[in-house]
A and B are shown apart, each in its own frame.
Chain A
Amino acid sequence: MNHRSIAFITGLIFAVGLGISGMTQPTKVIGFLDVTGAWDPSLVMVMGGAVVVYFLVFNVIVRRRDKPIVGERFGIPSRRDIDPRLLGGAVLFGAGWGLGGFCPGPALTSAATGMSSVLIFVAAMLAGMGLHSTYQKLRSRA
């Protein structure tokens, strides 16, 4: 196996998990964020289930290895600081998530439906990512 096939398999299983979990239903996501209304707690189960599996694999298997099965090293983020960019980015992302009910994974998975609403969201999301790269470039030049 190489990094390409690992990435493909990850994306495929990920998408199926998202679909089964309810994350590809914007109304369900908004129901989950609607804590003062008819709150839908089922997405707590999604994040809970995913985190438990990742936590176990990370602590029981990954921590005892010095490198991944394919490749030379684990690329695990080492930053620990809480900076304004982290917080500002999370605020913006949360606002967009609440507005549309889509986060990146479910949006890209749902693009397979070809629904125009989803394609509009995905195009805007990619534009937003590109805009950030441009903003970064301008900032580093200034």
Chain B
Amino acid sequence: MNVPTSDLLAGLAGGLIIGAATSFMLLFSGRIAGVSGIIGGLLPATRGDIDWRAMFLIGLLVGGVILRFIYPAAFPTTIDASPMTLVGAGLLVGFGTRMGNGCTSGHGVCGIGRMSRRSLVATMTFLFSGMITVYITHHLLGASV
């Protein structure tokens, strides 16, 4: 454990902003700002329920573009994982978040923020599963896959 304080503060600042964004959607629209749920609801899309989901997605992308200008260090310059690993990871994340009704935002922030037992259990489970996976790939297999 050797992390500069600035990273911890950046984490906290980013967390507070994420909390503000998800709370904003709840208070104004009455909806849960869970990324996998909002995007998954477009696959397949239901008539009359497309526009706000698409606008959320566009917001994320525009936010990404803004970051590129104001804080390019937010993004890595290279990604170590091989294309095969990324395909496997993406399939697992896509299928798993839909099957488990949520991801880091829906369960981890909105669910835990409401003290939902389901979300607490789901978050503990995906954190544990992620930790086991990293243990296997980085310690048992000995390299970044």
A residues neighboring B (CB under 8 Å): 1, 3-27, 30, 33-55, 57-58, 61-62, 65, 67-77, 79-82, 85-105, 107-113, 115, 117-118, 120-133, 135
- B13 touching A49, Cβ below 8 Å: yes
B residues neighboring A (CB under 8 Å): 1-3, 7-33, 35-36, 38-40, 43-44, 51-53, 55-68, 71, 74-76, 79-81, 83, 85-101, 103-105, 107-118, 121-123, 125-135, 137-139, 144-145
CA gap between A53 and B135 in the complex, in Å: 32
- A133 touching B98, Cβ below 8 Å: yes
CA gap between A107 and B86 in the complex, in Å: 11
A98 and B129 in contact, given A10-B24, A26-B81, A123-B90 (Cβ under 8 angstroms): yes
SS class, residues of chain B in contact with chain A = helix
Query: Which residues from chain B contact A51 at a C-beta distance below 8 Å?
Result: 15, 19, 108-109, 112-113
Partner of B27, one of A21, A57, A80: A57
How many inter-chain contacts with C-beta < 8 Å in the A-B complex? 498
19 chain-A/chain-B pairs, Cβ below 8 angstroms: A15-B59, A15-B66, A16-B63, A19-B63, A19-B75, A21-B13, A41-B1, A57-B27, A73-B30, A77-B116, A87-B125, A89-B95, A92-B95, A97-B130, A99-B133, A99-B137, A122-B90, A126-B43, A135-B95
Query: Which residues from chain B contact A86 at a C-beta distance below 8 Å?
Result: 100-101, 118, 121-122, 125
